[in-house]
Amino acid sequence: MSWLTKTLSSSIGKKVLMSLTGLFLCTFLVVHLSGNLQLFYKDGGYAFNTYAVFMTSFPPIKVISYANYFFILFHAFWGLYLEYQNRKARSVRYAVVRNSSSWSSRNMAILGTVLLVYIVVHMGDFWYKYHNEPLPYVQYTSDVRTGQIVANEMPSTYTQDVKKVEISDLETGVHLVIVKDLYKEVARVFQNPLFVLIYIVGMFAVAFHLYHGFQSAFQTLGWNHPKYTPLVRGISTWIFAILIPIGFAAMPIFFYVKHLMGN
């Protein structure tokens, strides 16, 4: 065995792989949330739908997205393998256990499994449909001078070979864009309270998983310092366990409430 495989197959090395892939997925969540906040714009989904085109066509982003799929699978199955090893390290269980550690830290594998199922459901809802199903198209007409954007649904029979058709008329100052209407699909899915519930449960799993996970990744990499560890723990709790899950959960709730109010 080379030194690298030897190092990465040691107990510490195995944890380093969990740590690095986990931190990558944490940065992904930040980007994912930032991008999806565009769902809250009152522009008929123009920003969100053109962002979806950019994210699925810009080559560097495509490379990162494939890395992301791989890291999700790797993190999940490597984690389950470690959990299997850890259970084997205590073949006879205690009759009575009084835990002194946090609930999150003890249930990372269960939370992670919930998240894996959630990710499959989530990607089935949007990623799969966006790539494989004939979603309707929408045409945005914007007035370059006033910045006003008008959305018009394209007939259901309309298709185009490119992801985005973009026409600018300099004389009239009209900018026209035709893209797949993923925004409408998001709004449609979240009319169903069952999906709203599934997404909220998913975000609870994210919250508890990252409450332990983010700061634990730093400890695994050897980062434990009286000055900086409180900061890392603060980010773990306030940003990754509270702010980000609330930001994501606000989306299904927003669309559900919007639907209830009749638009």
Nearest to 216 by CA among 238, 202, 228, 233: 233
Q: Which of 59, 60, 95, 145 binds another protein (CB under 8 A)?
A: 95
Nearest to 121 by CA among 52, 39, 194, 182: 194
| Min CB(216)–another protein separation in Å | 4
| Min CB(114)–another protein separation in Å | 17
Asked if 93 is part of the footprint of another protein (rule: CB under 8 A), the reply reads yes
Q: How many CB atoms lie within 10 A of CB 214?
A: 22
- The number of residues that bind another protein (CB under 8 A) is 40
Pick between residue 134 and residue 222 the one whose CB is nearest to another protein. Answer: 222
Tell me which stretch binds another protein (CB under 8 A): 48-56, 94-102, 192-200, 246-254: 94-102
Tell me which stretch binds another protein (CB under 8 A): 41-49, 124-132, 133-141, 211-219: 211-219
Which ranges in 58-146 belong to alpha helices (H)? 59-88, 103-106, 108-122, 128-132
Asked if 5 is part of the footprint of another protein (rule: CB under 8 A), the reply reads no
- Compute φ and ψ for 176, nearest 5 degrees: -120, 130
Asked if 1 is part of the footprint of another protein (rule: CB under 8 A), the reply reads no
Pick between residue 16 and residue 189 the one whose CB is nearest to another protein. Answer: 16
Asked if 132 is part of the footprint of another protein (rule: CB under 8 A), the reply reads no
Asked if 222 is part of the footprint of another protein (rule: CB under 8 A), the reply reads yes
Q: What do you get for the CA distance between the two ends of the chain, in Å?
A: 62
Q: Which of 192, 224, 231, 234 binds another protein (CB under 8 A)?
A: 224
Pick between residue 82 and residue 198 the one whose CB is nearest to another protein. Answer: 82
> Can you say whether the dihedral through the CA atoms of 165, 134, 248, 232 is positive or negative?
negative
Dihedral through CA 253, CA 258, CA 259, CA 263, nearest 10? -160
**73: DSSP letter:** H
What is the distance between the alpha carbons of residues 263 and 255, in angstroms, rounded to a whole number? Answer: 9
Which of left, alpha, beta for 262 (phi over 0: left; psi -120 to 50: alpha)? left
Asked if 194 is part of the footprint of another protein (rule: CB under 8 A), the reply reads no
Residue 248 CB contacts under 8 Å (≥ 6 apart), including other chains: 33, 36, 199, 203, 206
Q: Which of 69, 70, 106, 160 binds another protein (CB under 8 A)?
A: 106
Tell me which stretch binds another protein (CB under 8 A): 33-41, 143-151, 218-226, 249-257: 218-226
Give the x-and-dash track for 51-90 against another protein (CB under 8 A): -------------------------------x--xx-xxx
Report helix, strand or coil for 176: strand
Task: Provide the binding-site residues for another protein, judged by CB under 8 A.
Answer: 2-3, 6-7, 10-16, 82, 85-86, 88-102, 105-106, 108, 212, 216, 219-224
